[in-house]
Structure 1
């Protein structure tokens, strides 16, 4: 039987008119497969490197290089939905399967069973909603990782957290000018 491709279906737009999580993930996966783009990212053994990309539908997108042993720390995306995909190496995402309130707290005790962990490599990716709290890590002792990330609406802020056991603590709020 011949290989028949169905016509491309337009991705559903989110209620706010921007790209939905599935469209962001599709973009991240396609971009992660662009070997020339991935190879153009300068890698630094001491710290993360990045290139800002044009994401779909006005989204914010980044190609990020991760030296061995680096990570983001616990954070959220200020109410933006997003997606990311591994382009090279392997990343580990640790996330919380819990609704975290965005206002009115400094310290929160997490319930048992909220921790999730997944490993992403070879174009595998992950989409998430606007209240997602996670950290992304390159746990390799000797191999760089590269990934593609996309967010909509463009990140208004990022909340940074520390974690000790079941206690999550809001540490700081970063604005766009502080990470670009």
Structure 2
């Protein structure tokens, strides 16, 4: 699914949005009840609608059926932020910067795992090279969230994880998800 919706007023100014401005945008947009309710929800898979984001960023409204998630991934050189508009999401992340390329398997050191719960109204911003997975743990309730990235995503690297070993599985480009 892909269509553009208008979101709350964008960040003022013509410079690139900061992490704080992206976080402000996703929080304000997540609070727009009419926009959140306009997202068609599918019981089988995630749904999404592209939004008009601030300062040329890429922004999305995403619906998460019970038990769905992203798997481990990063957003390359993009800053980002997301906020839960409805339901509750969990984010697991790694406090480590991955090498830019030239590897397939990477052994992670102890103590790099982080986890946070994001109920409706909560959000978080992150810098470049942020590695995480986001999922809806609920067995019965949809979740909805708003995401923004700047610059627009040049690629997403997808990973699998077994214990302390992270494996690069796939590199997706914008044409793969738009």
Using the size of structure 1 for normalisation, the TM-score is 0.91
Is 2:138 aligned against 1:140? yes
Contact 1:12 1:20 in 2 (8 A): no
Runs of 4+ in 1 over 6 A off after TM superposition: 10-13
For residues 85 and 125 of structure 2, the distance between their equivalents in structure 1, rounded to whole angstroms, comes to 15
Contact 1:96 1:114 in 2 (8 A): yes
Residues 12, 99 of structure 1: alpha-carbon distance in 2 compared, 3 angstrom cutoff? farther
Specify the alignment match of 1:118 in structure 2: 116
- State which structure, 1 or 2, has the greater radius of gyration over its C-alpha atoms: 1
**Shift, 1:12, TM fit:** 9.4
Stretches of structure 2 that go unaligned for 5 or more consecutive residues are 1-10
Stretches of structure 1 that go unaligned for 5 or more consecutive residues are 1-9
Is 2:51 aligned against 1:53? yes
Specify the alignment match of 2:67 in structure 1: 69
For residues 120 and 136 of structure 2, the distance between their equivalents in structure 1, rounded to whole angstroms, comes to 14
Across the aligned residues of Structure 1 and Structure 2, the Cα RMSD in angstroms comes to: 1.4
Q: Once the two structures are superposed, what CA deviation does each residue of 1:64-115 show, in whole Å capped at 9, x if it has no partner? A: 0000000000000121010000000000000001111121111100000000
Alignment of 1:4-15 (within 5 A): none
For residues 43 and 103 of structure 1, the distance between their equivalents in structure 2, rounded to whole angstroms, comes to 36
Is 2:170 aligned against 1:172? yes
Specify the alignment match of 1:30 in structure 2: 28
